[in-house]
Chain A
Amino acid sequence: MKTDALIARLAESPVPVEPLRRPWIRTAGWLAVSLVYVALVVAVMTARDDLLSVTGTARFWVEQSAALATAVLAAFAAFCSCVPGMDRRLLALPVLPLGVWLTSAGGDCLAKLIQEGPSSIVFAEDWLCLPAIAIVGAGPALLMVRMLRCGAPLSPALTMALGGLAAGGLGSFGLRLFHSEEASLMVLVWQIGSVVLFALLTGWLGRHAISWKRLIRQSHAAARFS
């Protein structure tokens, strides 16, 4: 097909489109809906008995703030990653709170090891974390995928991994409100580990969830029904 003929076909009856809102507005919208979902899950699961006492510790606040900031900045980066022409350095934003989160849990673990010896480090299997984070993160993850599918699939794996990190971060934030687990090694391995695993898994699925092929097919279908 000649390019002029293609242009004529594309412009024949263009469906009006509403420009996507800016990434920070989309992030705010995603966060608002997701927090309602997380609150509902926490309410159903019932908040942990020792919630009041743990809220008195600085570590709880640092790690919860870092988890929430990781979720927010990863969501923002994911939305930026599907807007052509955005500064790619923005995609590194979640590294900072993720670093704080890891440092807090890892630092506490290391400090205990130095001060009290290896016997002070508690490690046990806690497979509940993985499905629990998946349940709390499922709502935010589904909403995230739906929102990301409206953007340009410039780097599907990275976009989806960032989206998974956002949903997983929020999942971990919610989990800590009903799951009593404060041992730093446990938090590091089971909670942060689950979030990272969730992000890697969604990144791996990226090409299937968002792709040029699907988007182009969708836009042709929309044109046919206009």
Chain B
Amino acid sequence: MSHDIRKLRCFAHSLILHEATVNPPSPTRRATALPVLDKLRPLLATFMGKTGYQALILRAMIMAGEEVPWLCNVEIAANGNLENYNEQSAKHETDEKADGSEILLAHLISLLEAFIGEVLTLRLINELWPALPKDDDFTLEDEHD
């Protein structure tokens, strides 16, 4: 993997917070990766096909599951939707929930970056979140680059 997953996790964290700012969740719910994935899914499925997206999110899920085991229990629908994500995350403490959310998104971005490169990955993301700030939190570059 070309980028440190910790750095990508920071990016994922910032993206989740940004989405929560644009579309705030209900007061009782904490921001998760789900709304981000819900936005990414149709765009990626448009050019990869649903099957392609499903394979990509499955791979990200398995990689993230090595760090956050409860993610392995999340089921993925044929269209790439995470079927029981909320139920599974509800079984865990807040920090674990956040970990799962951010790490899953970080791995998905990492896969995209590995396949199509940083420029195109950021382009896709900027297409969905055009108001994304252009600061350090929103770059895929490693700190040591």
Q: Do A and B bind?
A: no
Q: Contact residues of A with B, CB < 8 Å? A: none
Q: Contact residues of B with A, CB < 8 Å? A: none
